[in-house]
Copies of this chain bind each other. A is one copy, B any other.
Amino acid sequence: MTDLHHGGFTLPGESGYEELTLRMAEKWGADVIRDSDGTKLSPEITEAGYRIYSTICIIREHNAFALKHPETQQQTFLSSDPVLALSDRLEIDPLAGFFTEQFQINDSLEALPFWQVWDRTADQLLPREKWSWESGRVRIAGCVPYHRYTVSFLCWRIWEEINMYNHTTNHWQTEHLRQLDPRHPLAWDYLQRWLKTWCENNPQTDVIRLTSLFYNFVWIFGSDPRRRTRFTDWASYDFTVSPAALRAFEAESGIALTAEDFICRGKLQATHRPPTPQKRAWMDFIQRFVADRARTLVEIIHSYGKQAYVFYDDSWVGMEPWGPYFPSVGFDGLIKCVFSGFECRLCAGAKVPVHELRFHPYLFPVGLGGLPTFMDGGHPEKDATDYWLHVRRALLRQCVDRIGLGGYLHLTIGQEAFNDAIEEMAVAFRRIRGLHAEGAPAELPLSVSVLHTWGALRSWTLSGHFHETDGHVLIHLNEALSGLPVRVRFISFEDVKAGALSGTDVLLCAGQAGDAWSGGDAWLDPALTTEITRFVYEGGCLIGAGEPSAAAGRDTRFALAPILGVDQDRGEYACHAPWAFEAAPAPFRVDRAALGRGTDGIRLIAPDTRVLAAEGNTPLLTLRDFGKGKAAYLGGFVYSPSAARMLLDLLLSLTGQCGAPAGLCDDPLAEAAWFPASKTLVLLNNGPEARKVSVRFPEGSLETELKPFEIRFETR
């Protein structure tokens, strides 16, 4: 019998609050106590019989070494803001507008050859002899008046970004921490030695919790508070750059990357944008380097009888858990902080022995966007419940091994509502975990393949958390899918051409024109559209959302338009009339709010496209038969529990299935999961009000009333 009150829970302990630590460990049923960024554990805690996680940010907290060997610090390319030439001469201060506490120019002999000066007006690289670097200024001669020039340059990153964030957001006053680049032989030797020493000095630690590895996601600060964050992307590779890395990559691949490969006309290549083949090769090169170095660190940790868990955030770049090299590292566990269901699936599906979720809110005074959490005006229990509602439906589909919290435990003092809510979640989590242990939940014979540029590498996530990417339609769909009883995988355009549609029931393409999710110029390859056309014509199903497969250079704006029966007019259809339509009855409940504001310019290009919802003359939701298959278009998709249900209904309608084999509620705000081995039906009320629901499942049907937000376990 599952112990519902103990185990699978990681508590953040706090030195100075020993009694509290042990009391909360008891209340929440913790079996592990951890330290956090900013907290320590005292012997009273580490010797209380719990397993102990110790957080290490391997590249940070070595300021003495960094100051002695500044050449071992991490770097990046930056581009100056464009400067207008008013005569044939121009001076540019490359760092003007950047946060000089974060960056320091690298004009060393090995860095300077990578600098570039561009005429951005003419989109031309300037010959080296046209500019010089003197007294902190790039001096350009022979400018064209009224052209705009930029300098692309290398610089040292002299403030580790997470430390910088904590200082600027949480008013930390401690020394600014620097970060080392493990590619530098001096640094790499030092880090290995340092880790061995650490292991020797910390026998109480069972698990080293790496936060995370080497290269932080990209976070570029500006000098002006009105644009403090100039650029931030959780999945960009700009911070992996150094002359040594560029040279090693060229030696291996023959590809001599330049500053412009990273600067991209001043728009750093975010993960939302399709990469060039060279950049993909660079990413692969970095991923192999990161895995190789990480493997060495894990081996050191194992040699001391400890385990190595990795926290998937912060300096994680190159470590994608769904990438090809992750399993080779030999991590013992993966820890993911979660706000959402898709993050739960991202963690749960990774190939690693232990999967752990760190719940939100983090025990910090200030939460997302600077709002109070554990301060006056905060409602940490509401936040926790909101995130839990997203997470639990994903846990029903695929479970993890552990949950936990992080931060300053003392902030829970007096927060009884929060403390009780976490206790309740921990009990429910253990119950769900127990059901999974007895046997998998029923799943529909319905395989969804989500198609985009990155494929499996960016399974479930786009780039960071939901709230950081909620302008992208795909993250809303991923969030909905994370709790549906269907199989989901993520495939790339190359996968499709290599035959990956075999076994797919529904192919999903969702994004904005030109982005990595919609696909951009990948659609100019006729092999891609031909294969998808074949797939659908022969009986497959297709869902397009937003601006799927948009690319210039064909007779339709969406390459998939001839299948979908809708296309988008961004001016190209000037004076061409669309097919007029009248809304057709929908074969399922249409959640108008889930379709958002739709997509501008959508029009019917086939007379047999059925419009199930429209805003004026703009179709919002369409269905079309195509050969033996079917295609649906969604002008928008805004996640909510009832939006998720509409997506399930759409999937069922396309594939001609009934959802009852997995358990299906009549109420769009209620969800069901059926665990056949345990003969247990789990019911979720996703709404804030009590609701009477009727459920169909393989062993019959059930009518019952669910309390607000209830999770109910009904064993037959």
Where the two chains meet, the residues of A that have a C-beta atom closer than 8 Å to any C-beta of B are 82, 84, 86, 119-123, 144-148, 150, 218, 224, 226-227, 229-233, 236, 265-268, 270, 272-273, 463, 512-515, 524, 526, 529-531, 533-534, 537, 553-555, 562, 570-581, 600, 607
Q: Of B82, B580, B600, which one neighbours A227 at CB under 8 angstroms?
A: B580
Q: Nearest B residue to A547 by beta-carbon distance?
A: B571
Known: A145-B534, A562-B82, A562-B148. A513 touches B227 (CB 8 A): no
Q: Is the CB of B122 within 8 A of A571?
A: no
Point out the residue from B121, B273, B526 that lies within 8 Å of A571, measured CB to CB: B273
Minimum CB–CB distance for A102 against chain B, Å: 15
Specify which chain B residues have a CB less than 8 angstroms from the CB of A524 in the assembled complex.
123
Q: Of the candidates B119, B224, B513, which one forms a contact with A607 in the assembled complex, judged by CB atoms under 8 Å apart?
A: B224
Contact of A572 (CB < 8 Å), options: B230, B267, B570, B581 = B267
In whole angstroms, how far apart are the Cα atoms of A578 and B150 in the complex? 18
Q: Which residue of chain B has the shortest Cβ distance to A148 in the bound complex? A: B562
Instruction: Contact check, A577 vs B270: say whether CB atoms are below 8 A apart.
Output: no
Q: A270-B574, A533-B84, A570-B514 are in contact. Are A554 and B120 (CB under 8 A)?
A: yes
CB pair A530 B227 closer than 8 Å = no
Give the residue name and chain of the B residue nearest to A230 (CB).
Answer: B577
A579 to B576, CA, bound (A): 39
Question: What are 12 A-B pairs at a CB distance below 8 A?
Answer: A120-B554, A121-B529, A121-B530, A121-B554, A123-B554, A147-B526, A226-B580, A265-B555, A268-B576, A512-B571, A513-B570, A514-B572
Cα–Cα, bound, A576→B227 (Å): 10
Contacts A232-B575, A512-B570 known; list 11 others, CB within 8 Å: A82-B562, A84-B533, A145-B534, A148-B555, A226-B607, A227-B578, A227-B580, A227-B607, A231-B577, A463-B575, A600-B600
Q: Return the chain B residue nearest A146 by Cβ.
A: B533
Q: How many Å lie between the Cα of A607 and that of B265 in the bound state?
A: 20
In the assembled complex, how far is the CB of residue A216 from the closest CB belonging to chain B, in whole angstroms? 14
Contact between A579 and B227, CB atoms less than 8 A apart = yes
- A577 contacts B227, C-beta separation under 8 Å: yes
A526 touches B122 (CB 8 A): yes
A565 to chain B, nearest CB (A): 12
> Given the complex, which residues of B lie within 8 Å of A581, measured CB to CB?
226
Q: Please give, as numbers and ranges, the residues of chain B lying within 8 Å of A579 by CB-CB distance.
A: 224, 226-227
Residues of B near A607 (CB, < 8 A) are 224, 226-227
Task: Report the minimum CB–CB distance from A510 to chain B (whole Å).
Answer: 14
A301 vs B509: C-alpha distance when bound (angstroms):
64
Do B534 and A146 touch across chains, with their CB atoms under 8 A apart?
yes
What residues on B are CB-neighbors of A119 within 8 Å? Answer: 526
Partner of A554, one of B265, B554, B575, B578: B265
Given contacts A533-B146, A576-B267, contact A553 B123 (CB under 8 A): yes
- For A146, list chain B residues within 8 Å (CB): 530-531, 533-534, 537
- A700-B91 Cα distance, complex, nearest whole Å: 53
A272 neighbours in B (Cβ, 8 Å): 571, 574-575
- How long is the Cα–Cα vector from A119 to B527 in the complex, in angstroms? 13
Which residues of B sit under 8 angstroms from A150, Cβ to Cβ? 555
Chain B nearest CB from A474 CB (Å) reads 13
Give the contacting residue for A513; candidates B226, B571, B575; CB below 8 A: B571
Tell whether, in the assembled complex, residue B512 and residue A575 are in contact, meaning their CB atoms are under 8 Å apart: no
> A55: shortest Cβ distance to chain B, in Å?
27
Q: Could you tell me the distance between the alpha carbons of A638 and B580 in the complex, rounded to whole angstroms?
A: 26
In this complex, what residue of B is CB-closest to A119?
Answer: B526
Known A226-B580, A267-B555, A512-B570; contact A530-B82, beta-carbon cutoff 8 A: no
Distance (whole angstroms) from the CB of A514 to the closest CB of chain B = 5
The residue in chain B whose Cβ has the minimal distance to the Cβ of A537 is B146
- Which residues of chain B have C-beta atoms less than 8 A from A576's C-beta? 230-231, 267-268, 270
Chain B CB within 10 Å, residue with most, of A147, A554, A574, A578:
A574
Pick from B82, B148, B268: contact of A575, CB under 8 Å: B268
Residue of B nearest to A573 (CB): B267
| Cross-chain contact B229 with A577 (CB below 8 angstroms) | yes
* Beta-carbon nearest neighbor of A222 in chain B: B577
By a CB distance below 8 angstroms, the chain B residues around A148 are: 555, 562
For A123, the chain B residues whose CB sits under 8 A away are 524, 526, 553-555
Contacts of A575 in B (CB 8 A): 218, 231-233, 236, 268, 270, 272, 463
How long is the Cα–Cα vector from A110 to B360 in the complex, in angstroms? 75
| A606 nearest in chain B by CB position | B81
Residues of B within 8 A of A512 (CB): 570-571
CB distance from A171 to the nearest CB of B (A): 21
A218 to chain B, nearest CB (A): 8
Q: Which residues of B contact A266 (CB under 8 A)?
A: 555
- Report B-chain residues with C-beta under 8 Å of the C-beta of A224: 579, 607
Contact A233 B574 (CB under 8 A): yes
- B contact residues around A529 at 8 Å (CB): 121
Would you give the shortest CB distance from A630 to chain B, in whole angstroms? 16
* Chain B residues whose CB sits within 8 angstroms of the CB of A513 once the complex forms: 570-571
Chain B residues near A273 (CB-CB < 8 A):
571-572, 574
- Roughly how many angstroms separate A122 CA and B523 CA in the complex, as a whole number? 10
Residues of B within 8 A of A236 (CB): 575
**Which residues in B have their C-beta under 8 angstroms from that of A514?**
570-572
